[in-house]
Structure 1
Amino acid sequence: MKTITQFENKKVLVLGLARSGQAAARLLAKLGAIVTVNDGKPFEENPTAQELLEEGIKVLCGSHPLELLDEEFALMVKNPGIPYRNPMIVRAREKGIPIWTEVELAALVSEAPIVGITGSNGKTTTTTMIADVFNNSGQSGLLAGNIGYPASEVVIKATESDTLIMELSSFQLMGVDTFKPHIAVITNLEPTHLDYHGTFEDYVAAKWQIQKRMTAADFMVLNFNQGIARRLAEETRATVIPFSTIDKVDGAYLQDDALFFKDEKIMARSEIGVPGDHNVENALATIAVAKLSGISNDVIRETLMLFGGVKHRLQSVGSINGIAFFNDSKSTNILATQKALSGFDNDHLILIAGGLDRGNDFDALLPDIKGLKAMVVLGETADKLTSLAETAAIPVYHVADVAAATQKAFELATSGDTVLLSPANASWDMYPNFEVRGDEFLKVVETLRGEHHA
């Protein structure tokens, strides 16, 4: 970690705790800042705030008093999920206080170069693939960012011989200024999080912050399957490295069912360890980063062959009596479920879907579900999905929750079939997050495995 002095004896407000706020508060304290943490959860229910208080950091919990901002703060570090319309952030802006997310802070003190990965779908899988390739090559790739390892925590121990492999959300990227990865990846861009950003244009602008400080000595890896990425390629100083499953590009591409990088064959498509067209795209992005980082073709191929997926993202959880189970709870939108469905034979597939109703219809899914063996639906969107299934002449069953859905799907399946949880909806109507939803699926699969001694 670099030693910097710009925060010594400066007052800094950390707004919102969670893991990233906790990490930012500790890093700022280490850098000599006078830190105040403000979190909405009451102090007595807030063990993180209690820990920070014991460490000598000032904490104010239970409310967000605007008068707090009358203190002379040099900086606000905000939780990425707090929208910019929040009164505390509006007031901070009025007062001219810089507003960062903790990835900006981490990058300031990082000795390690950064590979930054963002996009609408595939971020977590691609980030994990890249880290695996780095580590299998003997280079040290440290997972950081939106993948569950706060960058401000990881950066403390990272040295110049490490590389931070950092997953970045649009929320995080809205709060950066000098942040500069050496290699950046945008997996794809689709309309999502519009309840936060307002418009697709604003969402894309947030993602595009990733390359704000990059130069021609840095590399921007873009998905040339998308016209928007081809347009953005004209708007960066970074050296663009494209990837595509459609065209032969000057980067990573799919040709004759094999993955190439600039005329070098890396591996056969069939050798990728996880199914689905989207994972071909994720593998091509990984290949581009690996080749730019001097990693050998053999290491890339072996790593991608052995890659077993990420928990809750098209995660293979084994089989029972010849019936395979995949947990894709992280598919919280239609596009993600379309990509998941592309990896399976619909004649032998039972899809579990449904969740929070955001007001959209599911007509776009119709071509992708044609020929499914069955659908099991749940949550607020169950009726919409039932109508969709009936339009496609697919047997459909409405159940109460994921546990009941998993049980029902297993009853409907025979040897050679696959049960796929890929909800195409957020979880918040029934579950706190997609992880809890996926864990319920995993638990029922384990119970079924025990009952059937498979």
Structure 2
Amino acid sequence: MDIIKKRIGVWGLGVSGKAIASYLLSILPPDKKLALLDQKNEDIVQKIFAPSTSLIFFKDPEERSLFFDAIDYVIPSPGIDLATLPCPEKIFPEIDLFATAWHKPLIAITGTLGKTSTTHLLSTLLATAGKKVATGGNIGIGMLDLVSQQATTDFAVLELSSFQLEHAHLVAPDLAIITNLYPNHLDRHKTIEAYLEAKLQLIFHQNEGQQALIPLALAPRIRADKRLAHRPIAWFSTTQLKEKQNPAIQPDDTIFTFDENGSCIETDHTGKIKKQLLAAQKIPTLSFKENWLVLAAALHLLSIKIEPLLSSIELSLPHNRLEPVATIDGVAYFNDSKSTIMQATITATKALAPRPLILLLGGVSKGVDRTLYLKELESLSLLICFGKEAHALAKAAEELRIKTKICQTLEEAVSAAHHTARAGDAVLLSPGGASFDLFKNYEERGDRFVELVQQLKKEKSLKH
């Protein structure tokens, strides 16, 4: 389908929406109009794109019905819930528009936990291997902003959310990676099955020769889907495969796992070792071990060896992911605002063990019962709950005899942690929930935490 010949509308002008509209304006013929639907006033929208006679603006929600009457297809921003849309046949997702425009190799990464770190580190490693990489998607860079870089790029690496994938029908990455799957965004997807279905759009439309790297834990669900029942898949698992252990594994499948020494290895479908990819002693301590298994496997599937790259690179994690902020009076402060699910928070607390830990837990649950995961936090020195769901979280924690304090704001939480912590302790912001009760996004939440900690550090220095 040549969507450019149709009447197109863009709904929402966040990071993705701006990139979508800018790309469309660059390729639409002069006689075509682009409809925009947004809550911003028209004069603000005109300033974003500069005065243009190619734009038709509709104010949301007052003119929403007029907008849909004026278009054949809508390309929505990912954050817009389309469940109640009266004309779902008009949806044309951003990722499918990208798929029609991008003709170089594509690596696409999704999952519940670890996809941002994996995207960041894989892009860094590919660049170290001499590849020219364009990175974007759900990391704050609109994927359609990458199209202009295509001529000078070897790979696009995209982080994709379930929101970006749920209506996809065209995207077919050369390498699709699913990092893991935990209950998340159930306020939108309603069930874990619908959430998985959205993620699997990443591999449903792949062609022969294109590869998928998927957690072995998902194998029974994957093979139960007749669309994926017989295709070769590369699986990864932190535990070694025992012969005939998993009937979902087929003869053409590949397994990536750890051997008894902790090295990353490739095995065949029976568990027989084919190759060592990354020796245990060479696995970086930066990020979690499972992430390095995924990275080693992904590079191997791309015919790139990981070990030589690690000897000539300085690695870093993305901002807001277990990020050291400062040490004040012997207390170390860490920013893990990127944690929007409890599994990420639990993983972060384990990474900082065995030091005494004060955890700042907050945000909103996105349809998931976070109290079910609090038992994993019983070893905390103190749990400080802040924000909209603080009282519910604290009540459940107290029933588990976890020492708990309630704060209304992040500012109060940081102050409480500062006055409680002693030398040798760590204070960790790892909210385990979305930021929308108090902040625009997790970046703003993390930036505010860093600002508050730096303010404490400055106040300390002024006293001496």
Could you state the TM-score of these two structures normalised by the residue count of structure 2? 0.85
Deviations 1:10-50 (A, max 9, x none): 42122222122222222223222524232232425x63443
SS at match of 1:149: coil
Equivalent in the alignment of 2:409: 401
1:245 maps to which residue? 238
Deviations 1:75-129 (A, max 9, x none): 321212222234xx423x4xx54x2122211121113211000111211111111
Give the aligned partner of residue 306 of structure 2.
297
Q: Does 1:21 align with 2:17?
A: yes
Counterpart of 1:66 in structure 2 is 65
Q: Which letter maps to 1:246?
A: T
Please list the CA deviations of residues 376-398 of structure 1 after superposition, one character each: whole Å capped at 9, or x if unmatched.
Answer: 22122222332344334333222
Distance 1:355 1:26 in 2: 33
Match of 1:38 in 2: 36
Q: Specify which of 328, 335, 340 is matched with residue 320 of structure 1.
A: 328
For residues 418 and 56 of structure 1, the distance between their equivalents in structure 2, rounded to whole angstroms, comes to 56
Paired position in structure 2 for 1:266:
278
Partner residue, 1:75: 73
2:7 aligned partner, one-letter code: K
Residue 86 of structure 2 corresponds to residue 90 of structure 1: yes
The aligned residue for residue 281 of structure 1 is 290
Aligned: 1:185 with 2:142:
no
1:175 shift after superposition: 3.0
Structure 1 pair 259–410 and aligned structure 2 pair: CA distance change class (3 A):
farther
* Counterpart-to-counterpart distance in 2, 1:438 and 1:293: 34
Paired AA for residue 354 in structure 1: G
Contact 1:252–1:260 (Cα < 8 Å) also in 2: yes
- 1:425–1:9 distance in 2 versus 1, CA, 3 Å: closer
Aligned to 2:444: 436
Percent sequence identity is 28
AA matched with 1:296: K
Deviation readout 1:120-151 (Å, 9 max, x if unpaired): 12111111111111111111221111111111
Measured after TM superposition, the shift of residue 226 of structure 1 is 4.3
Q: 1:61 to 1:349 in 2, by over 3 A?
A: same
Query: Post-superposition shift, 1:295?
Result: 2.1
Residues 354 and 269 of structure 1, relative CA distance in 2, 3 Å threshold: farther
Q: Which amino acid aligns with 1:245?
A: T
Aligned equivalents of 1:318, 1:216: Cα separation in 2: 50
AA at the equivalent of 1:26: S
Say if 2:172 and 2:207, in contact at 8 Å, map to a contact too: no
- Matches of 2:404 and 2:363 in 1, distance apart? 16
CA distance in 2 between partners of 1:267 and 1:449 (Å): 40
- Give the conservation status (yes or no) of the 8 Å contact 1:214–1:238: no
Instruction: Give the CA deviation at 1:241.
Output: 1.2
Contact conserved, 2:387 with 2:410, CA < 8 A, in 1?
no
Among candidates 128, 132, 144, match of residue 140 of structure 1: 132
360, 366, 376: which is aligned to 1:352? 360
Q: Say which of 46, 51, 62 aligns to 2:48.
A: 51
Q: Distance in 1 between matches of 2:328 and 2:219?
A: 43
**C-alpha spacing 1:147/1:382, structure 2 compared with 1 (3 Å):** same
Give, as a single letter, the amino acid of the residue that structure 1 aligns with 2:351: G
Distance 2:39 2:131 in 1: 41
SS at match of 2:233: strand
CA distances 1:290-348 after superposition (whole Å, capped 9, x unpaired): 11122223245348x84332222222224233322221112222222222222122551
Displacement of 1:361: 4.6
**d(CA) in 2 for partners of 1:363 and 1:161?**
45
Q: In structure 2, what is the equivalent of residue 212 of structure 1? A: 204
CA distance in 1: counterparts of 2:307 and 2:411, whole angstroms: 42
Provide closer, same or farther for how the CA distance between residues 396 and 68 of structure 1 changes in structure 2, counting only shifts above 3 A.
closer
Secondary structure in structure 2 of the residue aligned to 1:56: coil
The CA distance in 2 between the partners of 1:361 and 1:387, in whole Å, is 13
One-letter amino acid matched to 1:41? Q
Residue type at the aligned position of 2:232: T
With 225-234 and 172-181 compared, the bigger mean Cα shift is at 225-234
Residue matched to 2:250: none
Residue 400 of structure 1, CA deviation = 2.9
**Could you tell which deviates more after superposition, 12-21 or 381-390?**
381-390
Tell me the alpha carbon deviations over residues 200-251 of structure 1, each in whole angstroms, 9 at most, x when there is no partner. Answer: 2111111111112213301100111445566469853653111111224943
Q: Are the aligned partners of 1:350 and 1:376 in contact in 2 as well (CA < 8 Å)?
A: yes
Instruction: Give 1:256 deviation, angstroms.
Output: 3.6
Residues in 2 aligned to 1:38 and 1:131: alpha-carbon distance in whole angstroms: 33
Shift of 1:271: 4.2
- Give 3-state SS (helix, strand or coil) of 1:258's partner: coil
1: CA distance between counterparts of 2:383 and 2:138? 32
Partner Cα separation in structure 2 for residue 11 and residue 358 of structure 1: 34
- Specify the code of the residue in structure 1 equivalent to 2:176: A
Say whether 1:203 aligns with 2:203. Answer: no
Partner secondary structure for residue 109 of structure 2: strand
The answer to whether the 8 A contact 1:346-1:371 is kept is no
**Partners of 2:355 and 2:411 in 1: CA distance:** 23
- Structure 1 window deviating more from structure 2 (230-239 vs 258-267): it is 230-239
CA contact (8 A) 1:136 1:299 kept: no
- Cα RMSD of the aligned pairs, angstroms, is 2.8
Amino acid at match of 1:144: G
How many Å apart are 1:282 and its aligned residue? 2.0
Match of 2:186 in 1: 194
- Maintained 8 Å contact 1:374/1:396: yes
